[in-house]
Structure 1
Amino acid sequence: MIPMTKLCAKIEQNSHSLAVSVNGSDDLNSLDPTDLKILLELIRDPRIQIGELSDSLGIARNTAQSRVRRMLRSGILHDGGREIDLEAVGYDVVAFVTIEVNHRELDGVVGALRLIAQVLEVHEISGRGDVWCRVVATDTHNLQAALRSILRIKGVIRTETVLALHTHIPYRTEPLISRLAQGNALAPGRPASRRAASAEQQANTG
């Protein structure tokens, strides 16, 4: 992990290139180096207060507050509760459920899944199945009850469930945001130049 002082210095030195690389993305076109520094601080400490954030980054409190609010409104930041340790409250069984759906009932299926509290996320997918979701449970009996609730939803044809045995890499964003902050990540959809590709290959082999 890069020390924050070195990272901030790197951001200040490369503010122009950062603006170009970040603004090249439709999803990140509102981010500048200060936004990236704020994101890194919030990733590292989701409970940090606005005053602490402004002191840590050396920016005005109003600036920090307005930027956090803007990123919340735009959806870059959200209060999804990912920092909560569900194992600590008894939900230590994690399952990935692939659902085959009658396509005419897809919206209704998604709406019904939203009402099942143990369903943490839902994605429409390609390949086998139509919908993928992450489900948590207190034990296998509790999981079975949740799966039965899913199967009772109108439009669900069948499900396939895989249990997670161990989480080696939990959901994370810090490596990507750190790389963006250093100006090393390409905007989505932008092909790498030969020089950039060669430099990255040398870094990976070195």
Structure 2
Amino acid sequence: MSGGGFHVHGPHDHELEHAAQGGHGGHESGGGMIAQIAVITAIIATIGAIFAYMGGATQANAGLYKNNAAIKKTEASNQWNYFQAKSTKQSLAELARDLAPEDKKAGYQAKVDRYEKEKNDIKVIAEKLEAESVVWDQSSDAQIHQHHRWAQATTVLQVAIALAAIALLTRKKWLEYGMFAVAGVGLVIGALAVLHI
């Protein structure tokens, strides 16, 4: 217990604590390796936590952006429905104009002209909303791609931490090198996420 609460150890925490206190029979050659792996593991875990946070943030952004795209698409659809209603009214006004006596044709023509202007204004708004929807969709797709990069980087760093624990347990130098190599790959993938690649 620490501070009155429970403290749960991760799979390799005990090994790290034991190693830091000079465990494993106090082999001199392993002491440097143990300390080095312990420090590197802490650094990798910290970077992994940052990557995990960024992955969650980009996933949340993607959802928000997709929602904004749906809202804009709905607003555009509403405008197109309004446009269609004006088109129907214009068609009825044209029919009425064509069937009306000469003294009433001018009144119906004024309605036709008004509906045509209103339709054009509505069309501009609808097309603008559709364009905004496309931009929000593209932004969402970009955030999802970036989220996948953060998730990949986090996963690779977790594998590096697991290799560190195995390297501590087995004292195999090649596992330590493997841990460094895998951690390097995780950092490269994290850099790709930062660069939106």
Q: TM-score, normalised by structure 2?
A: 0.26
Q: TM-score, normalised by structure 1?
A: 0.25
Counting helix residues as a fraction of each chain, which structure ranks higher?
2
Counting strand residues as a fraction of each chain, which structure ranks higher?
1
User: 1 or 2 for the larger relative contact order (CA 8 Å, sep ≥6)?
Assistant: 2
